[in-house]
Amino acid sequence: MTNENPDDQWMQAAIAEARLAEAKGEVPVGAVIVHEGQIIGRGHNEREASQDPTQHAEMIAIRDAATRLGSWRLIDTALYVTLEPCPMCAGALVNARVPRVVWGCDDPKAGATRTLYNIGSDARLNHTFECVPDVLGDACSMLLSEFFAAIRAQNKPRNGR
């Protein structure tokens, strides 16, 4: 590792995953799971290619990490994701016992760790996790903004129609 802030370094890896999604025409969201200073899980959105609504970056990274650890309990790990987790992903993070979740930008339409819901810090659940928002948030937000701007430009009517 470099002298760079570790959270920034791992978020850069998640951004690299988001760029892989973007290259496939998927919404550019990427995630990595870190254990003992190593990435053990990677994922990026694959909903369009798979036509599977559960193929969010976080879900893919969780499955990858669980396979590598040989356990569904992802104890002593941290998830880094470019966009605040949705309710499905936040629930999976609770169930996987991930102790720390770091994200880039908030999701005003589906955010479930701070924006709309606080699933990760809800003491009524059997597990909670540390929530760390806004790590390289501007870069993560820009990825999404540019992606959706390009889609809107492609769908823009021509010649006033």
Distances (CA, A) of 8 to 1, 22, 75: 11, 20, 21
Residue 127 region, left (φ>0) first, then alpha (ψ -120 to 50), else beta? beta
Q: Read off φ and ψ for residue 31, nearest 5 degrees.
A: -145, 150
As a whole number of angstroms, the distance between CA 161 and CA 155 comes to 11
**pTM score, whole prediction:** 0.93
CA distance 113 to 91: 10
Taking alpha carbons only, the member of 97, 88, 100, 22 closest to residue 59 is 88
Q: pLDDT in tens for each of the 161 residues of the chain?
A: 456 799 999 999 999 999 999 999 999 999 999 999 999 999 999 999 999 999 999 999 999 999 999 999 999 999 999 999 999 999 999 999 999 999 999 999 999 999 999 999 999 999 999 999 999 999 999 999 999 999 999 887 755 54
Partners of residue 111 on adjacent β-strands: none
Q: How many CA atoms lie within 13 A of 25 on its CB side?
A: 6
Residue 160 has what pLDDT? 52
**Which residues, 6+ apart, have CB-to-CB distance to 69 below 8 Å?**
35, 40
DSSP structural state of residue 148: H
Residues with a catalytic annotation lie at 58
Contact 140, 105 (CB under 8 A): yes
